């Protein structure tokens, strides 16, 4: 009686796993590089969106939010700001794509206000994915 072969041998499975691992090692670095550059683009876009909301706030109120008021006044009425006609953002944008809070200072050192993200490392300066993303360089 002849045996019917069902399934794969261990060698065949190991060869397939090795091929998949080789392909993953070639493709993964490229994908992770795209992911980091995408996060930087998202941060730039969010800063531009916040800047537009800050300008709308200024048109209504006559000034930019103070550092103490922060960005929260763009989506939540504190109740004591005359001529507040927000929300100026549909939903809060408190953190950058890396999970760090955006830094807002008014008055700023580079203009009426400074708005920036410290990048992936959350520290001032840096290059590549750790580079600061600022409103004054956008």
3-state secondary structure 29-58: HHHHHHHHHHHHHHHHHHHHHHHHHHHHHH
79: left (phi over 0), alpha (psi -120 to 50) or beta: left
**Rounded Cα–Cα distance for residues 52 and 35 (Å):** 26
Tens digit of each residue's pLDDT (9 = 90 or more) over 30-65: 766 666 678 889 999 999 999 999 999 999 999 999
DSSP 8-state assignment for residue 90: S
Residue 9 has a pLDDT of: 85
Alpha carbons within 13 A on the beta-carbon side of 68: 1
Going by pLDDT thresholds of 50, 70 and 90, the confidence category of residue 124 is very high
- The backbone torsions φ and ψ at residue 30, rounded to the nearest 5 degrees and listed phi first, read -65, -40
Of 131, 119, 107, 100, nearest to 54 by C-alpha is 107
Total-model pTM? 0.74
pLDDT band at 138 (very low <50, low <70, confident <90, very high): low
pLDDT for the residue numbered 107:
93
Cα separation, 75 vs 73, whole angstroms: 5
Spatial contact of 122 and 129, defined as CB atoms under 8 Å apart: no
Query: How long a stretch of residues is the chain?
Result: 138
Q: CATH topology for 35-134?
A: Glycoprotein, Type 4 Pilin (3.30.700)
């Amino acid at each position: 009686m002849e045996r019917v072969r069902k399934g794969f041998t261990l060698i065949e499975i190991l060869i397939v796993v090795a091929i998949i691992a080789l392909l993953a090692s070639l493709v993964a670095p490229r994908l992770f590089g795209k992911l980091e550059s995408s996060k930087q683009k998202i941060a730039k876009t969010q800063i531009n969106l916040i800047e537009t909301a800050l300008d709308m706030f200024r048109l209504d109120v006559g000034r930019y939010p103070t550092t103490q008021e922060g960005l929260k006044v763009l989506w939540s009425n504190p109740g004591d700001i005359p001529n507040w006609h927000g929300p100026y953002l549909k939903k809060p944008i408190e953190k950058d794509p890396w999970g760090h809070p955006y830094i807002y200072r008014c008055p700023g050192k580079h203009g009426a206000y400074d708005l920036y993200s410290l990048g992936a490392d959350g520290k001032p300066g840096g290059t590549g994915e750790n580079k600061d993303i600022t409103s004054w360089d956008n």
